[in-house]
A and B are shown apart, each in its own frame.
Chain A
Amino acid sequence: GQQLNQSPQSMFIQEGEDVSMNCTSSSIFNTWLWYKQDPGEGPVLLIALYKAGELTSNGRLTAQFGITRKDSFLNISASIPSDVGIYFCAGRDWGNDMRFGAGTRLTVKP
């Protein structure tokens, strides 16, 4: 099946720093999504991307749908302590099957 490679696996950053993480796929996706998961809770959608090349922002978060349709990145600017959590990318093809990356665990030091 389609595999999503998400990197980095974990990040330890200082409050105020910018963060960048990305996801690559072995095949094409129609939709890219970025979720955040807080401890003990389900993932919450941050950004959804539907078009190759699309760049979308949600507050301090910016995500892009790669032009090849095989990758996506998420940037977080000026990180704050509540950004701590696990960030997942997810891709969906023309069906309903959504594949998730293994996650990037973000730690923000005050």
Chain B
Amino acid sequence: DAGITQSPRYKITETGRQVTLMCHQTWSHSYMFWYRQDLGHGLRLIYYSAAADITDKGEVSDGYVVSRSKTENFPLTLESATRSQTSVYFCASRDKRESSYNEQFFGPGTRLTVL
């Protein structure tokens, strides 16, 4: 499928388990991002990546790990899930050239529930 996809779309897990959320984009965009969306907070940046093998922390990175071995994939791992990580997670990507055609495009989201 063209565009940006996330899997799974829904996930229920238990406290302490490791969870990996997948993100895949077909545009060869340089930048990829992970956000979480919680009521009253809008979207908050967890991690971003400017290119393969380059990642940087965002506003709420504690408890999360990312990797980017290939340009098109940007998995997000919760090493030991906690209830406070129950949220909707969005992946986004954009090209490195700044213009209105190259702003961030978002995936459909993954709804994660940690019991």
**Contact in complex: A97, B108 (CB < 8 Å):** no
**Contact in complex: B45, A97 (CB < 8 Å):** yes
- Residue tally, chain A, CB below 8 Å to B: 25
Residues 5-34 (chain A) with a chain B CB within 8 angstroms = 6, 31, 33
Shortest beta-carbon distance, B14 to chain A, in Å? 25
- Residue tally, chain B, CB below 8 Å to A: 26
**Contact in complex: B43, A88 (CB < 8 Å):** yes
A35–B48 alpha-carbon span in the complex (Å): 19
Q: Mark B25-64, 1 if CB is under 8 A from A, else 0.
A: 0000001010100001111110010100000101100000
Contacting residue for A43 out of B31, B43, B59, B99, CB 8 A: B43
List of A residues within 8 angstroms of B106 by Cβ: 35, 42-44
Which partner residue on chain A sits nearest B101 by CB separation? A48
**Contact in complex: B42, A100 (CB < 8 Å):** yes
Q: For the complex, would chain A's binding face be called helix, strand, loop or mixed by DSSP majority?
A: strand
| Chain A contact residues, CB within 8 Å of chain B | 1, 4, 6, 31, 33, 35, 40-45, 47-48, 50, 88, 90, 96-103
**Contact in complex: A45, B41 (CB < 8 Å):** no
**Contact in complex: A42, B90 (CB < 8 Å):** yes
List of B residues within 8 angstroms of A90 by Cβ: 43
